[in-house]
Structure 1
């Protein structure tokens, strides 16, 4: 990989590549279709990629929706988020109308006060009659206004509660959309957002490290024992990584057998220690079938580490950590390598499965 210079080629536009691929295959560029091809692009679900490929170059929307319902039933409902947004908008409209009614009531009450004041200052009636009439008007208007106010307060409280429930529903949609369904870790989409946020703050950039880890010889595991076993191993690896890091560590499955960790407020030495701790614990974790006694292990990780200060931007940071990862692979696997200028990526790995 070339070191960062002012002539560095721009990072590939992932969204443009996916959209181009969809257009070439005659797929409608709507959000739920993009969701499918985005996941296929990441390679995090091999079977999904195969099912999409099996549809050929002219898949119908019904076929795509069937695949979406199969793999993303929890987030691929075409009306779920739209329904929640529409409901929230309706509740807000009701609340605004309620506040308008309150304003109208207060305006009417002010008119009553003005009328009472005019009567009290009038010289055309006896003082006792004026006061009696004015007090009657004010008493009735005040009681009505207070009662209406209490009702509206109760209604506002109820509407606020209903909107909070809807907000929580939308938050849940977002959480699920950013979660890898197999490992329950963050997915690539959430990782991209978290990595970009590193460069929003100078302090965060100065004290953040990125770990990119890949399971060694995982293809052999899948070929030997099958994908169901491979999926269980992926889930276990994710649990081991999560359990051996600080609670504030951001852990994601970024595709296939690859994981990434973003560590904040940390030194380079502490990043390397964290990576080695994960590797050591995983290497000592048994991977056996409790019923048949078949041993699937050992399962090991290769890890690349790069500090945010060594990169120009999120893409550069990920690429450099990835270079370090493949240096670890080339050096024999089951080891941690820190990125250093001058490293080259000779593995030939290419994430760009859709090409123009």
Structure 2
């Protein structure tokens, strides 16, 4: 197991604080859709977006920002999600109205029953006609009540089916919003949610490992062969990673050439076996253009692992996995390293060199 020489510990920068600071420096309004733009640019998951956002300079207008947002984040999907929410609210309001009407109808029927009973039991109700009229009235009211009840139940069932259809539609929109369009893996947004969920309960932390994988020398690949080739390599790497994991394992693309795996129900030793299986599988994968014969390889991964129980929080777990990844990079790349106490990483420009 590789171990780097101890280095001074530097506090990991808070992504949210960095994003907020950058927006403030550029005079950008701190609204959610602007934050999303700068968040994606900060983590580097879309280099083209980062370049276009930087090109706006310090005087970007909201219209310019919205134009970029519509281009990269499929704003129509956001509108569809909002529309689905509105439709669910509308169906719920209709259902509540329907049930209130039924409740009112039931109260009226109960009141009628009470009044009829009082009349029948009254000492003055000696007339046979009165008794006959009361029975006739109850019969009509009961039949009408049963018919209204059937209509209400049919309405409730219809509303329930409609809401279930909308819920499925909304789930599909959310799935799209949490999926990386290039690799079809989970994106950074979904990863952050899943990582935080690890710490919702102390159970399972001792059998959950975070693995961060980073493609070695990816900047050189992009610079040599171009971004279209780089995108194809990213998609292939994603497929290799996914094909070497159980179907229920969470895997995401968390940055430009960075991937993350949250492995649950396994020991630290088992996690290392999984990481090495992924690494060796990619190392053995040919990257060659079948038409031109150009060889894009070798393409390799460096991986950093950390058991969830080693981290005090989601941020701490990610930091320690990143420290292990740093050690894998600094000790020759194309290897897997598990975090150990004593490992340190100086977060400076030198670390960015390893990620290029």
Change (3 A) 1:281 1:78: closer
Tell me the residue number matched to 2:205.
Answer: 205
Change (3 A) 1:325 1:154: same
SS in 2 for 1:303: strand
Change (3 A) 1:348 1:21: closer
Tell me the residue number matched to 1:282.
Answer: 282
Q: TM-score, normalised by structure 2?
A: 0.91
Tell me the residue number matched to 2:47.
Answer: 46
Out of 282-291 and 257-266, give the one that drifted further: 282-291
- Structure 2 contact 288–295 (Cα < 8 Å) conserved: yes
**How far apart are the structure 1 equivalents of 2:230 and 2:10?**
37
Shift of 1:351: 9.5
Tell me the residue number matched to 1:190.
Answer: 190
Q: TM-score, normalised by structure 1?
A: 0.91
SS in 1 for 2:221: helix
- Structure 1 contact 326–347 (Cα < 8 Å) conserved: no
Tell me the residue number matched to 1:114.
Answer: 114
Q: What is the root-mean-square deviation of aligned Cα atoms in Å?
A: 2.3
Out of 312-321 and 215-224, give the one that drifted further: 312-321
Unaligned stretches of 5+ in structure 1? none
Shift of 1:326: 1.5
Tell me the residue number matched to 2:316.
Answer: 316
Shift of 1:335: 0.9
For residues 253-298 of structure 1, what are the alpha-carbon distances to aligned partners after superposition, in whole Å with 9 as ceiling and x for unaligned? 1101111111111111101100000011111111122222221111
Tell me the residue number matched to 2:254.
Answer: 254
**How far apart are the structure 2 equivalents of 1:302 and 1:61?**
40
User: How many residue pairs end up in the alignment?
Assistant: 347
- Structure 2 contact 27–58 (Cα < 8 Å) conserved: yes
Tell me the residue number matched to 2:30.
Answer: 29
**How far apart are the structure 2 equivalents of 1:349 and 1:127?**
102
Shift of 1:162: 1.8
Unaligned stretches of 5+ in structure 2? none
Q: Does 1:227 align with 2:218?
A: no
**How far apart are the structure 2 equivalents of 1:84 and 1:219?**
41
Shift of 1:127: 5.0
**How far apart are the structure 1 equivalents of 2:27 and 2:77?**
22
- Structure 2 contact 10–346 (Cα < 8 Å) conserved: no
SS in 2 for 1:203: coil
Change (3 A) 1:96 1:127: same
Shift of 1:208: 0.9
Shift of 1:347: 7.2
Change (3 A) 1:125 1:186: same
Q: Please give the residue correspondences for 1:165-184 in structure 2 after superposition, counting only pairs within 5 Å.
A: 165-184=165-184
Shift of 1:310: 2.0
For residues 46-101 of structure 1, what are the alpha-carbon distances to aligned partners after superposition, in whole Å with 9 as ceiling and x for unaligned? 0000011111212222222221221111x565533332222222221111111110
